[in-house]
Amino acid sequence: MSKRTFRIWRGNAEGGDFQTYEQESSEGMVVLDVIHGIQAEQANDMAVRWNCKAGKCGSCSVEINGKPKLACMTRMNMYAEDEVITVQPMKAFPVIKDLVTDVSWNYEQNKRIKPLQPGKPEADGDYRMAQEDIDRNQEFRKCIECYLCQDVCHILRDHGKTDVFVGPRFMHRLADLAMHPLDTRDRVPEIVEEFGSGYCNITRCCTDVCPEHINITDNAIIPLKERVVDRYYDPIAMLGRKLFGGGKSSENTD
């Protein structure tokens, strides 16, 4: 058991400030445990969102000493005994109260993405996929929708470009669909025009913060950018398509 110093931002959309709390922390605790201790013993009205305490529901996203993190997966022993631990709500989303932000913008983005559209099933009415065709997609399915990647992305966080860029979480959802062996939609035009793939400058912060270690930049965004190049910026590929039709297999052909 040792006393640790926490600075937690308390307030709402109108304004607020950091409050300092001294709270006991024992071995094996995570930041969320200490916040719960403060909530139970010192600040009953403090708002913090959480659910699973196992890094799987994506509710407890906050910023700890300036880094976007899951409070339930951030161990206290990462910090020196005498280190002040500062906890803030995510920067990219509007604050509701204290550590809780309104992430509903993300749900709106998700709705804009057209669902998977498979072609005709096989003769027995089933769809079949080869494992090697779906391996890439399975990485993206690990997403717990914590939106830490959205929070850290400077396009949303610093430049506030929520009107033109959908953010890394949905870039990888789009990549999942675009690479899907059964999907028949042509998604390339909307990936550029509606979802703003060109705004990402591949600076990789989304990948750095993802608690599920999804390699968003290398495995989703860059492959999408390359598909966009095939379609719009590669003169030889474009000429090839004009002369021979179809050509590259960026999209599903069946």
**Is residue 95 within 8 Å of 120, Cβ to Cβ?**
no
CA angle 70, 142, 209 (to 5 degrees): 40
Ramachandran assignment for 18, one of left (phi > 0), alpha (psi -120 to 50 degrees), beta (any other): beta
Output the CA–CA distances (angstroms, integers) from residue 41 to 44, 197, 206, in the order listed. 7, 47, 35
Torsion of CA 44, 48, 52, 54, to 10 degrees: -110
| Pairing verdict, β 85-88 and 61-64 | antiparallel
- Nearer residue to ligand FES within complex by CB, 171 or 177: 171
Is 95 within 8 Å of 89 (Cβ atoms)? Answer: yes
Residue 145 interacts with ligand SF4 (CB under 6 A)?
Answer: yes
Quick one: 13 or 52, whose CB is closer to other proteins?
Answer: 13
Residues 135-164 that bind ligand FES (CB under 6 A): none
Among ligand FES, other proteins, ligand SF4, none, the one that 51 touches (CB under a kind-dependent 5 to 8 A) is ligand FES
User: Which listed residue (43, 47, 57, 96) binds ligand FES by CB under 6 A?
Assistant: 57
> Of these, 26, 110, 138, 203, which contacts ligand SF4 (CB under 6 A)?
203
- Cβ proximity to ligand FES: between 36 and 157 the closer is 36
Residue 50's binding partner, choosing from ligand SF4, ligand FES, other proteins, none, with beta-carbon cut-off 5 to 8 A by kind? ligand FES
Q: How many beta carbons lie within 10 A of that of residue 55, not counting itself?
A: 16
Give the interface size with ligand FES as a residue count (CB under 6 A): 12
**Contacting positions for other proteins (CB under 8 A):** 9, 11, 13, 15-18, 63, 65-68, 83, 86, 88-91, 94-95, 101, 130, 132-133, 152, 154-155, 157-159, 161, 165, 179-181, 183, 196, 198-205, 208-209, 217-218, 222-223, 225-230, 232-234, 248-252
- What torsion, rounded to 10 degrees, do the Cα atoms 186, 220, 117, 133 define? 110
Among 31, 34, 36, 50, contact with ligand FES (rule: CB under 6 A): 50
149 binds, among ligand FES, other proteins, ligand SF4, none (CB under 5 to 8 A by kind): ligand SF4
Among positions 45-74, residues that touch ligand SF4 (CB under 6 A) are 58
CA angle 80-82-86, nearest 5°? 80
Region label for 154, one of left (φ > 0), alpha (ψ between -120 and 50) or beta (otherwise): alpha
Binding-site ranges for ligand FES (CB under 6 A): 50-53, 55-60, 70, 72
